[in-house]
Structure 1
Amino acid sequence: MNQEQVLSYIKENNIQKVKFAFADIDGVLRGKVISRKKLIDGMDAGYGFCDVVFGWDSNDVTYDNVELTGWHSGYPDKLCYIDLATFRTIPWQDDIPFFLADFTGPNGATVAADPRSLLKTIIAQCKDMGFHAEFAQEFEWFNFKETPQSLQQKGFANLEPLSPGMFGYSILRTSQHSDFYYNLFNLLTKFNIPVEGIHTETGPGVYEAAIMHDETLAAADKAVLFKTAVKEIAAKHGITATFMAKWNQELPGCSGHVHQSLWTKDLSKNLFYDAADVNKMSELHKQYLAGQLYCLPHLLPMYAPTINSYKRLVEGAWAPTTITWGVENRTTALRVINTNEGYTRLETRIPGSDTNPYLAIAAALASGLYGIKNKLTLDIEPTKGNGYANKANGVLHKNLFDAATAMQNSAIAKELFGEGFVKHFTQTRLWEHRQYAKSVSDWELKRYFEII
C-alpha cells in the first residue's frame, strides 16, 4: 500500500491502533502498538525509538564495548520509518494492521547497526548492476508442550516435545496435531507469508517449512516475520517453538538455508541457467558462487551469529564444515540445484534457524555480487560424495570468537558492508563470546562438581 491507500484503509475500517516492529542486530523484532493519530503524524516525520535497541543484546543486557550508543551517549531516540509497502493484518490478533520499519530516513541517512537498511543498500547495488534477485529462506524448528513459565520452572531441562521419536516427513505425526499444523499453514498464508511446504523433520517435535521465494527485501521481511509468527501461533496452542541452531547435542540442528537466483529485471530469464553447461550453470552463476566461496571466511558470523550456531556446524549433522560446493550435494556449504530453468538456484547451507535473515541474505547477495564484479573464476571443483572429507579449500571457523575476529579484521567485509556496520556487528559478537566464556555450564557441573 502507498500512503493514500493506507489512510483510506484506516478511515474506512475505523482503525484506532496499529502495530509496527523492526529487527535488531540479532533479528529479534522490537516494536510497539501506536494510536491512529501517532501513525498518521509519523508517516513522513518518523517515530522516535530509544537507540538502546542497538545497544543491548538479545537478553536486554547493555553492551560495554560498542560506540554507536551507550551510557556515554545517554541513549537518545533515533527515528525509524514505517515501510507502508509491508502492510498486512495479523489474523491471530483480531486482524490488527501491522507494518515493518527500519532506520533509513527520507534523505537516505541510516544507522550502521540497522540490518534491514544494510540489506536495502546491497539490493540497490544489485539493481545498479542490472539484476533482479530472488530469495527464499527455509527454517527448521523444534516444538515443545511448554510455556515460558514452565521453561523457567524446569530450568530448560526435561522438556516435553510435541511428539516423540525420530519421524521425518511423517503424515501420522502432523495428523495427530492437525489443528496446530494446519493453523500454521493457513494463518501464515493470511499473514502474507505463503508457505511452499511444511512437514516434520527427523527429531522429536521438529518441523520444517519453506517460504515461497520473492524479491530480496520482501523475502527477508517474510523470513523475519515467519519466526515470530510461528512462535505466536504456537503459543495459542500451548506450544513453545524454538529456533535455536542446536538445542540438544544428541539431535540434529535446525537449518535456515538461503535459496537465491539472479534474473533479468523483467523476470523473463533466469541468469543462473545455461542449458549447454555440464552442470546447467551460466558463467554468471559460477562467478556468483565463486564470490560466496571466496568471501565465506570473512562473513561467517552473518550466517552463524551465536555461540550455539557452531554446535550445529559439525561433521555428520546435516550442516557444512568445509568451504565446498556441489551439485545436489547436501554435505557441502553451497548446493547447486539445477532441475530446470525456473528452479535453478544456489542454496547457501551454512545458516541455521538462529540467523538474522536480513544479515544472512545480505551476506549471500553481497558476496555473490563481489564474485561477479571481480569476475572470479570458479576454480574449485564440485565435491562429489562426502563434503566433510574435502578440506582442500579450507574449513569453517569452529567458534564465534574466531569467526568474529576474522570478520573484524577483514578488508573484504568492510568493503562489502562498510566499516561502521562491521565494527558494530563484530563488537556485539565478541560481547556474546565473553558472556559465554564466563558462564558455568551444566556440563561443567556434572563433570567436576563432585569428582574434582
Structure 2
Amino acid sequence: MDKNELIKRIKESKHSKIKVAIVDIDGVLRGKFMHRDKFLSALESGFGFCSVVFGWDMGDVSYTNDIQVTGWHTGYNDFEARVDLDTFRTIPWEEDTPFFLVDFAKEKTEDLAVCPRSLLRKIIAEAENMKYTPMFSQEFEWFNFRETSDSLKEKSHQNPQALTHGMFGYSILRMSENSDYFDDLFNLLDSFGVPLEGLHTETGPGVTEAAIQYSGILEAADRAVLFKTAVKEIAYRHGIIASFMAKQTSALPGCGGHIHQSLWDLKKEENLFFDEKAKDNMSETMQYFLAGQLKCLPEILPMFAPTINSYKRLVVGAWAPINQTWGHDNRTCSLRVLASGKKSARIEHRVVGSDVNPYLAMAACLASGLYGIKNKLTLDTPETKGNGYDIKKEILPSNLWDASQKMKNSIIAKELFGNEFVDHFTKTREWEWKQFSAEVTDWETKRYFEII
C-alpha cells in the first residue's frame, strides 16, 4: 500500500501505540513503543533515537576503546531516525500491533555509516547501478530448551534442558511431539511477513532448522533479523528458550545461518548466474561473483563470524567450512554452488553462522561478489571435489582477534565498506575479544584449580 493508505490504516487502527525498532551492530533488535500521534508526526520530520545503541555492546556495557561515532565524548546525543514504511507489519502474537523498522541518519541527507541496514542499502545501490537485482534468502539452525529466562539465570546458563532428546534430524516424531510450537512458528511467522520455505528438526537435541523464502536482498535481511527475534518471542509463549549461538557445545555440530544468493536483471526476469551454454551452467557473472567472494572472505570474516563463539563452529568435521573453498553441491566447502536450474542457480555461503547480524553478512556477501565482477577476477581456485577439510591451504583465521586484525588492516575491506564502518566495526570486535580475555572460564577452573 502507498504512504497515504498506510497512514489512513494507522489512524483508523484500534492501536494507540506503534512498535519501532533498529538493529544494532551485533544484530540485536532494539526498539520501543511510540504513541500513534508521535509516530505519524515522525513520518514527516523523523525523530531522535539515542545513539547509545551504537556506543555499547550487546550487554549494554559502554565501549571505552576509542569508538568515534558516539560515547561519553559526544554526550550520547540522539541520532536522526527515519521510518521505512516498506517494512510495515503487524505482530500477530501481540494483537496485531503495528510494527516498523527504522534507519539511522548522521544528518537528514546522509546515512549513518555504521548503521547495518544503511550499509546494506548502500551496497544494494551499487548493485543496481551495475544493473543487478540481488535476490537472497537465509536459513537458520538453532537450539530449543525447555527453560525460561528465570530458570536459566538460576542455573547460570549451565545444563539447560533440551526440548527433545537424541540426534534426530528430519524427525516427524519430534515435530509431532511439539506440534503446537512448530505450528505457531510456521503460521505466526507467515502472518508476520516472514514466510518460511521449510521447517524441520536438525541433528542434535532440540535443534531446529528453518529456511526463509527468498526475496530481494533488503527484504531478505529484514526477514532474517525479524525471524530471530520472532522465534524467541513465540518460543517464550511455549515455555521455550530459543538460542542462536553458533556453537552450544563441543560435543555437537554448530548452528549455521547460511545465505543463498543470486543476481537477476533489473526486471527480475533472468537469473544472471545461469548460462546453459557454459560449463556446469555457471555464467561468467557467477564465476566473477564467486571469485570475488573467495578472495575477500578472509579479509571480512568477522562479518560472517562476529563473536568469540563463532570460531568454535568453524572446525573440521562439524558441518562448517574452515578454508577458502568452493564446490558443486558440496557441503564441506565455504561456498556451495548450485547451478543446475535456470531459476534456482545460486551460491550458498556456508561460513555464515546463526549468530550473525544478517544485514552485515548479506552486505559482505554482495559487496565481495560485486568486487569480483568489477575486477573481472578469474576463478583460479580449483573446484573442491570430495572432502573440503582435506584442503590444508587457505585456512581462515581461527579466532575473532586474528580475523578482526586482518579486517582492520584490509585495503579491500575499506574499499568495500568505507573507512568509518571498518574502523567502528573492528573496534567493536576487538572489544568483544578483550571482554572475553579478561574472564576466567569454566574450562580453566576445571583444568587448573586442583592439578596445576
Please, what TM-score do these two structures have when normalized by structure 2?
Answer: 0.98
Counterpart CA distance in 2 for 1:285 and 1:32 is: 42
Q: Secondary structure at the match of 1:9?
A: helix
Aligned twin of 2:207: 206
Asked if 1 retains the 8 angstrom alpha-carbon contact of 2:306 and 2:429, the reply is yes
Q: Alpha-carbon deviation of 1:339?
A: 3.1
Asked if 1 retains the 8 angstrom alpha-carbon contact of 2:80 and 2:108, the reply is no
Aligned twin of 1:173: 174
Q: Secondary structure at the match of 2:111?
A: coil
Aligned twin of 1:287: 288
Q: Alpha-carbon deviation of 1:107?
A: 4.9
- What are the within-5 Å matches in structure 2 for residues 391-410 of structure 1? 391-392=392-393, 394-410=394-410
Counterpart CA distance in 1 for 2:373 and 2:390 is: 29
Q: Does the alignment pair 1:143 with 2:119?
A: no
Please, which runs of 5 or more residues in structure 1 have no aligned partner?
Answer: none
Counterpart CA distance in 2 for 1:224 and 1:180 is: 20
Aligned twin of 2:3: 3
Q: Alpha-carbon deviation of 1:149?
A: 0.6
Q: Alpha-carbon deviation of 1:389?
A: 1.1
Counterpart CA distance in 2 for 1:300 and 1:198 is: 28
Aligned twin of 1:348: 349
Q: Secondary structure at the match of 2:49?
A: strand
Q: Secondary structure at the match of 2:333?
A: coil
Asked if 2 retains the 8 angstrom alpha-carbon contact of 1:323 and 1:391, the reply is no
Aligned twin of 1:331: 332
Counterpart CA distance in 2 for 1:226 and 1:166 is: 25
Asked if 1 retains the 8 angstrom alpha-carbon contact of 2:273 and 2:339, the reply is no
Q: Alpha-carbon deviation of 1:391?
A: 2.9
Aligned twin of 2:46: 46
Amino acid at match of 2:292: G
Aligned twin of 2:412: 412
Larger mean CA deviation between 43-52 and 113-122 belongs to: 43-52
Counterpart CA distance in 1 for 2:109 and 2:313 is: 38
Counterpart CA distance in 1 for 2:255 and 2:198 is: 16
- What are the within-5 Å matches in structure 2 for residues 52-451 of structure 1? 52-65=52-65, 66-104=67-105, 107-392=108-393, 394-451=394-451
Cα-Cα RMSD: 1.0
Q: Alpha-carbon deviation of 1:105?
A: 7.2
Q: Secondary structure at the match of 1:72?
A: helix
Q: Alpha-carbon deviation of 1:449?
A: 1.2
Please, which runs of 5 or more residues in structure 2 have no aligned partner?
Answer: none
Counterpart CA distance in 2 for 1:90 and 1:339 is: 38
Amino acid at match of 1:80: A
Q: Alpha-carbon deviation of 1:2?
A: 3.3
Deviations 1:277-308 (A, max 9, x none): 23110000000000000111110000000000
Counterpart CA distance in 2 for 1:381 and 1:226 is: 36
Q: Secondary structure at the match of 2:169?
A: coil
Larger mean CA deviation between 162-171 and 272-281 belongs to: 272-281
Amino acid at match of 1:423: D
Amino acid at match of 2:94: Q
Q: Alpha-carbon deviation of 1:417?
A: 0.3
Matched length: 451
Aligned residues with identical type, % of pairs: 58
Counterpart CA distance in 1 for 2:78 and 2:209 is: 38
Please, what TM-score do these two structures have when normalized by structure 1?
Answer: 0.98
Q: Alpha-carbon deviation of 1:104?
A: 3.8
Q: Secondary structure at the match of 2:139?
A: strand
Q: Alpha-carbon deviation of 1:213?
A: 0.3
Counterpart CA distance in 2 for 1:341 and 1:207 is: 30
Q: Alpha-carbon deviation of 1:441?
A: 0.5
Q: Alpha-carbon deviation of 1:182?
A: 0.8
Counterpart CA distance in 2 for 1:104 and 1:214 is: 25
Counterpart CA distance in 1 for 2:15 and 2:148 is: 32
Q: Secondary structure at the match of 1:20?
A: strand
Q: Secondary structure at the match of 2:73?
A: coil
Counterpart CA distance in 2 for 1:110 and 1:278 is: 42
